[in-house]
Structure 1
């Protein structure tokens, strides 16, 4: 009973801290974008080369890869031209085909917020304009990479802010670019803003509803990488993104899961994640996330601190990191460690 009482008190403290530091009113409740992309019904009703295309909602990515391997160039051009939103988001489809399809899909929106993503040198691996928009972008040569990393961001990220002007090592695209530069030529890095993130430090950020939906999408995304022959990825999960990675970990083939500025992974220990991946954790001494109590009670909070000794993750040095968004800053101990993990140099 005494232990239960302490839990209740700690949960109440968590409510007070969240309300006092940011206020739940500062975060608007978000509706998670789930399911297959727009255009799916037309895709299902179509045929190509006398074959029915795989269902985006249910076909395993490996089956999607086999379907595309059996098509000639004319059939591939037809699918990209007629169904760009489906092809561009279809896990298991050939990578160059997805890049081309997403250039078409981005241009077709006519939305100036996304226009830069359609540039010839951008490698957009996924684009979904629903809601606030979702996007995944590749930095490096994913087709021939020896190592692959995926950056999973936290709150306040979407397709329009994915590459917004800010400190160059922050934001999904900024973190991915910086890691790619530090890791070197045979490593590809993907900025994956592929789920509906919370807005502000509100109730959405304090519960796991959006993370649950994001974890399902992340698991399918990594299965798609496997289907096209990419190496097992390293997941770099920032802030609320670490909640997504915690829930997805057992359903991915990730080689490593690295969390930074994490409020918790919805698990008491790294073993409870039920993953074969090595689990790493970093937290800056000046990161405000340390002020959020690590509890999970009645759906509120995300559990144990991944940087605590009891959690059992490997520690990433972060003593010189400034604040909540400085983990990828050039010259920091954390970025050097991230690059070594991304390149498989740490055993």
Structure 2
């Protein structure tokens, strides 16, 4: 009996993964594409000034350690004038403080974006800077100006690194059904709503889902959140093949979801694309039961969990992959830190399979007219009997 036959299917996949990794790393003198990223963690800039602020005669909740429920109680005890004063003095902190009132976070992030835009405009004309510095500053300022357009609801904004942002589509305060999108590789503040390949971006996915829900359930109030709140991998380098960035992003996602519950938003459907499903796989076991209603992973390389039961959630777990998605060609194994484990669409994983016959490629699941989009909308609306 051959070695491969003795190992069985899982063993064969593991050997394939090792051979592929050795070929890529050894044969090219390093990973073929992609660059290692420094994960952004901890509270946004300005936390030290916030902690030192005793203007209210009391200690403010620590943005690094205070639970969102504690933050919510703190703000409920303040007058509206006190809330606005804190947002004006500490916009980056209040704008990213999970548990703070939604409308207050919108205002704080608008103030933070304006300040960062003005800082970049000054940098663009700084005589000590290079031409490249000036060009980069102008691009960044223009991006901040886009996020400041009337009607945009920015629930989180962090200028560190490649930038992070969370944008709300719909009225989160009055929504009957909510959804949160977690993106995969190559998404950051500059590309969260890019025009090219829009349904591969969290903003494009969120807007498409809301439009489909409006078609299927007119009059039902919905909100969708495009959450680019972690440092995503760039390209197909080691970051995409390991769980390092997912480990760093999972606490941020869990805290964000706790924050939604703290302000009274209904438990959302959590939709996780590509590497985003690795982040979700690490975040969901951290959540209290009932924090999310449904967990939907699509185009997933694996969740670093052997089964849906291993996620330790009472949420319904769903998985989708279309036949043309290249992610299906990857070996779904985990070995020496490489790979993300069992394929969530494998019946042995235990997720409910979501048909995606008419989706195209790795980023086509939310494209209008696809069966996957219709099914995702039914899940987000709680119409489980209509998922087909």
Which residue in 2 is equivalent to 1:36?
Answer: 43
Which residue in 2 is equivalent to 1:273?
Answer: 311
Say whether residues 1:333 and 2:340 are aligned partners: no
Which residue in 2 is equivalent to 1:56?
Answer: 63
DSSP 3-state at the match of 1:112: helix
Query: Which stretch of structure 1 is more off in the superposition, 109-118 or 287-296?
Result: 109-118
- Superposed CA deviations along residues 88-134 of structure 1, whole A, max 9, x for unmatched, are 00000000000001011111111222221112200000000000000
Which residue in 2 is equivalent to 1:90?
Answer: 97
Structure 2 stretches lacking a partner, 5+ long:
118-140, 215-219
Out of 298, 307, 315, the position equivalent to 1:260 is 298
Which residue in 1 is equivalent to 2:200?
Answer: 170
When residues 18 and 151 of structure 1 are mapped into structure 2, their CA distance, relative to the original with a 3 A threshold, is farther
Query: Which stretch of structure 1 is more off in the superposition, 81-90 or 159-168?
Result: 159-168
CA distance in 2 between partners of 1:250 and 1:59 (Å): 20
Give the conservation status (yes or no) of the 8 Å contact 1:14–1:293. no
- Superposed CA deviations along residues 20-58 of structure 1, whole A, max 9, x for unmatched, are 9xx824111001000011000000000243222100000
Say whether residues 1:200 and 2:235 are aligned partners: yes
Out of 259, 264, 283, the position equivalent to 1:224 is 259
Question: What is the root-mean-square deviation in Å for CA atoms of aligned residues?
Answer: 1.8
CA distance in 2 between partners of 1:138 and 1:208 (Å): 27
Say whether residues 1:65 and 2:72 are aligned partners: yes
Say whether residues 1:114 and 2:121 are aligned partners: no
Say whether residues 1:100 and 2:138 are aligned partners: no
Which residue in 1 is equivalent to 2:136?
Answer: none
- Superposed CA deviations along residues 304-331 of structure 1, whole A, max 9, x for unmatched, are 0111111111011111111000000001
More helix by percentage: 2
Give the conservation status (yes or no) of the 8 Å contact 1:10–1:295. no
DSSP 3-state at the match of 1:26: coil
TM-score, normalised with respect to structure 1: 0.96
**Correspondence 1:259-338 to 2 at 5 A:** 259-338=297-376
Give the conservation status (yes or no) of the 8 Å contact 1:49–1:71. no
CA distance in 1 between partners of 2:358 and 2:21 (Å): 30
Give the conservation status (yes or no) of the 8 Å contact 1:24–1:203. yes
Which residue in 2 is equivalent to 1:213?
Answer: 248
**In the TM superposition, what is the alpha-carbon distance from 1:17 to its structure 2 partner?**
7.9
CA distance in 2 between partners of 1:155 and 1:322 (Å): 18
CA distance in 2 between partners of 1:68 and 1:290 (Å): 47
Instruction: Point out the structure with max Rg over C-alpha.
Output: 2
Give the conservation status (yes or no) of the 8 Å contact 1:18–1:201. no
Which residue in 2 is equivalent to 1:152?
Answer: 182
- Superposed CA deviations along residues 133-190 of structure 1, whole A, max 9, x for unmatched, are 0000000110011111000000000011111121343311111110111123411100
Out of 12, 16, 20, the position equivalent to 1:10 is 16
**In the TM superposition, what is the alpha-carbon distance from 1:18 to its structure 2 partner?**
6.5
Which residue in 2 is equivalent to 1:161?
Answer: 191
Give the conservation status (yes or no) of the 8 Å contact 2:170–2:224. yes
When residues 121 and 86 of structure 1 are mapped into structure 2, their CA distance, relative to the original with a 3 A threshold, is same
CA distance in 2 between partners of 1:117 and 1:66 (Å): 29
CA distance in 2 between partners of 1:302 and 1:15 (Å): 13
